[in-house]
């Protein structure tokens, strides 16, 4: 089944605009159906689990978070991150995260804002009741920033997803997650 090319959704644009003047700096995005994702991208992205757990299981290594940039407003905390394998430091995922601060307990927010631990691990360790809802899957022609972060050339293709995490029944976290080509 072939899916027609669609323009990026407002959610993707909104997340990208937190850190990029133009989404093109990050890449060209085309929404795809799960069947269009090659393996292992489908296994890494089309699920309702935290990406932290998923990439750790796939790469057989815990991951560390590297916060590239962060923004605070009175209501939200956003960050642009990389997840790196602890075994060799290899980048396995790029992400943009925007958290609604009022939806998380103060001690959980504080740990997230310390920027030392991947978000998924924090939510799991604090037993925050959460539900991950994948929203869209993306085929990404990487732009200059993503090529540099992943160490790939312009002929590479990456795959990603936008998702929402509901914490204690409330929409709390918006995500853009792109896995490195495997």
- Percent of the chain past pLDDT 70, that is, above it, reads 95
31 domain-assigned: yes
1 domain-assigned: no
pLDDT at 6: 53
Q: How much is the pTM?
A: 0.92
Residue 55 has pLDDT above 70, yes or no: yes
Q: What is the CATH number of the domain that holds 161?
A: 3.40.1410.10
When divided into structural domains, the chain yields a total of 1
Residue 97 has pLDDT above 90, yes or no: yes
- Percent of the chain past pLDDT 90, that is, above it, reads 79
Angle at 143 between CA 142 and CA 147, to 5 degrees: 65
3 domain-assigned: no
DSSP state of 105: -
Residue 36 in tokens: 């269009």
Sorting pLDDT into bands at 50, 70 and 90, what band is 8?
A: low
pLDDT at 127: 85
Containing structural domain, residue 18? 10-179
2 domain-assigned: no
21 domain-assigned: yes
Q: For all residues of the chain together, what is the average pLDDT?
A: 91
4 domain-assigned: no
39 domain-assigned: yes
5 domain-assigned: no
Mean pLDDT, range 32-55, rounded to an integer: 94
pLDDT at 154: 87
User: Which of 103 and 6 is assigned the larger pLDDT?
Assistant: 103
- Within 13 A of 91's CA, how many CA atoms are on the CB side? 20
Sorting pLDDT into bands at 50, 70 and 90, what band is 3?
A: very low
DSSP state of 179: E
Q: Where are the beta strands (DSSP E) in 5-144?
A: 27-32, 63-72, 76-85, 91-100, 130-142
Residues 63/55, Cβ–Cβ less than 8 Å: yes
């Amino acid at each position: 089944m072939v899916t027609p090319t669609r323009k990026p959704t407002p959610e993707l644009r909104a997340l990208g605009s937190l850190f990029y003047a133009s989404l093109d700096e990050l890449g060209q995005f085309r929404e795809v159906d799960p069947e269009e994702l090659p393996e292992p991208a489908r296994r890494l992205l089309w699920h309702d689990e935290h990406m932290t757990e998923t990439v750790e299981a796939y790469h057989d290594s815990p991951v560390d978070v590297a916060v590239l940039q962060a923004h605070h407003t009175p209501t939200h905390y956003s960050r642009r991150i990389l997840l790196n394998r602890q075994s060799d430091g290899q980048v396995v995922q790029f992400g943009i995260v925007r958290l609604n601060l009022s939806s998380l307990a103060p001690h959980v927010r504080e740990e997230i804002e310390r920027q030392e631990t991947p978000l998924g691990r924090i939510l799991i360790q604090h037993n925050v009741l959460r539900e991950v809802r994948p929203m869209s899957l993306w085929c990404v022609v990487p732009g200059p920033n993503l090529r540099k972060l992943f160490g790939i050339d312009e002929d590479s293709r990456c795959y990603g997803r936008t998702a929402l995490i509901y914490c204690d029944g409330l929409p709390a976290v918006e995500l853009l997650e792109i896995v490195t080509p495997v």
